[in-house]
Amino acid sequence: MGLYAVSPILLLVIAICVGAGLACAGQIAVHRHFSSQDFVRHNEVGGFIIAVVGTLYAVVLGFLTVIVWQHFVDARDLVAQETAATTDTWHVSVGLPTPERRRVRQDVQRYAELMVDTEWPIMRSGNFDKEADALLMDAITAAGMFVPADARENNAQSQTLSQLTAIHDARLRRLSINLTGVSSFEWLVLLIGAICVVCFCWLFGLANPTVHLLMTSSVTIVVVAILVLLFELQYPFRSQIGVSDHMWRGFVSHIQLMQNSNLKDMHM
């Protein structure tokens, strides 16, 4: 979506200004059009009704906010698991024969570099890098096709395949999460509820119209702010406040450290 290219702060400000402006304009129009009506007389009854309507909307809005936030946290934890499994693959492959070890380590290093250079940027549009899948398959082939000569190689093969499988599974779940957000129907329900709550504020009456406008604006600002938050969090890898690639960058730095260290077994 093009809106994800907009700064979250700017989007929030624009949405609040537009929402509050429309709410205030609507209230002014209603009270001018029905100027002969005494809105103050209906405050007591209206207060009970808005309490029910507002509570129902708050429950739905709060429920979806919790679901989306958990969705975001799960995505962040999933990336941590994927990078941890990639790091472990590098280390546990130390027991493999030299050709297989070098091939596996080259694959996982290239995989991490693709995450930083290619996949993370294109995930913002819902896409992914097909080369990353090929690298994982190549690493799994390298680790799984040779015949272990002793217990050390057998253990290294088993551990390496286990970590590569964890990377593969985490990647599939990550890509699935990047395609799953709040549905259009759910957004429709949220918008209908928001409009009803804000419009209901117009039916109240106060002696001071300015104070009434401020109250309506406050309700609108809170609702709009939460809706913008839902929009930014629903796709954890698309928003500018989403899950970043810093863990992958940390892995690449770790590999460079291993390559420059005195630990020969940690070299390619």
Q: Mind listing the pLDDT tens digit for each residue in 72-129?
A: 999 999 999 999 999 999 989 888 888 999 999 999 999 999 999 999 999 988 899 8
CB 219 within 8 A of CB 204: no
With a cut of 70, say whether residue 46 has pLDDT above it.
no
Residue 126 structural domain? 2-258
Q: Note the pLDDT of residue 262.
A: 67
Q: What is the C-alpha separation between 44 and 131, in angstroms, rounded?
A: 65
CA distances from 127 to 175, 177, 182, 207, 267 (A): 8, 12, 18, 55, 33
CA distances from 266 to 95, 166, 262 (A): 11, 21, 9
**Tokens (6 digits) for 172:** 């599939």
Q: How many beta carbons lie within 10 A of that of residue 152, not counting itself?
A: 12
Look at residue 165 and tell me if it is in a domain. Answer: yes
Look at residue 265 and tell me if it is in a domain. Answer: no
Q: Note the pLDDT of residue 139.
A: 93
Look at residue 21 and tell me if it is in a domain. Answer: yes
Look at residue 263 and tell me if it is in a domain. Answer: no
With a cut of 90, say whether residue 194 has pLDDT above it.
yes
Look at residue 264 and tell me if it is in a domain. Answer: no
Look at residue 156 and tell me if it is in a domain. Answer: yes
Look at residue 218 and tell me if it is in a domain. Answer: yes
Q: Of 113, 233, 98, nearest to 153 (Cα)? A: 98
Look at residue 234 and tell me if it is in a domain. Answer: yes
Q: Which residue has the higher pLDDT, 36 or 26?
A: 26
Tell me if residue 210 falls in helix, strand or coil: helix
Q: Domains in the chain: how many in total? A: 1
With a cut of 60, say whether residue 268 has pLDDT above it.
no
Q: What is the C-alpha separation between 268 and 266, in angstroms, rounded?
A: 7
Q: Which residue has the higher pLDDT, 21 or 35?
A: 21
